[in-house]
Chain A
């Protein structure tokens, strides 16, 4: 089984400052990794994904994340945040079954990012 821990439940930051949202995972098998964003009363939107290859992945809205296998981490970063980035962010994993996947995601508890003017 897989598990995901998001280390910060809330992250307040000022506009144009950098931000890092932390995610650690646990799995006995290889995994795919994802970050999703959820705006109030909305579904989840995929920000970025790590499947294989380069450990630094870039996503939408200027976000990027780095996969660190030795530390089992997949932290999300943005060099300069905007008010519109205020939302809840979820880290998720999916079992990598020999290059194919099952599609069932295990999510962390979420991190609420609040960007202040």
Chain B
């Protein structure tokens, strides 16, 4: 396993469309996180899964955002009715119970036009 994988790397969409991103974590990791990073800022936490359970969601995660991790392996992040303010880099990270650090994927850069 070579690390956390995210697809697609880039996505351009029109305002109002729905988009879905996929994250494949490091295979032995049971924890998965989604972060959002806007230009000139550090990553901001969005949500966290342990196995298939979504244990925490940030207030940044509006009702238009939904994340799933159905079998405790890969995860998807869906944004409905995209807005220009959703333009950002969406980063996925994974770790294991007892492992303090997280390992990040390359990110998906979303541009809403």
Contacts and interface: CB of A to CB of B under 8 A. Distances in A.
Contacts of A94: 100-101
B74 interface: no
A103 B104 contact: no
Which of A36, A44, A51, A108 has most B Cβ within 10 Å? Answer: A44
B78 to A, nearest CB: 20
Interface in B26-41: 31, 33, 35, 40-41
Given A103-B31, A109-B40, A110-B41, A34 B101 contact: yes
Interface in A15-37: 32, 34, 36
Interface in B63-112: 91, 93, 95, 97-107, 109
A48 to B, nearest CB: 10
Chain A: interface residue count, which band?
A: 20 to 34
Nearest to B10: A41
B107 A100 contact: no
B21 interface: no
A101 interface: yes
Interface string A59-71: 0000000000000
Given A104-B45, A108-B42, A41 B100 contact: no
Contacts, number: 66
Contacts of B42: 4, 90, 92, 107-110
Contacts of B45: 104-106
A103 B4 contact: no
Contacts of B4: 43
Contact of A103 (B6, B100, B107): B100
Interface in A72-117: 90, 92, 94, 96, 100-101, 103-110
Interface of B: 4, 6, 31, 33, 35, 40-45, 48, 56, 91, 93, 95, 97-107, 109
Given A43-B4, A101-B99, 6 more contacts: A43-B6, A90-B43, A103-B33, A104-B45, A107-B44, A109-B40
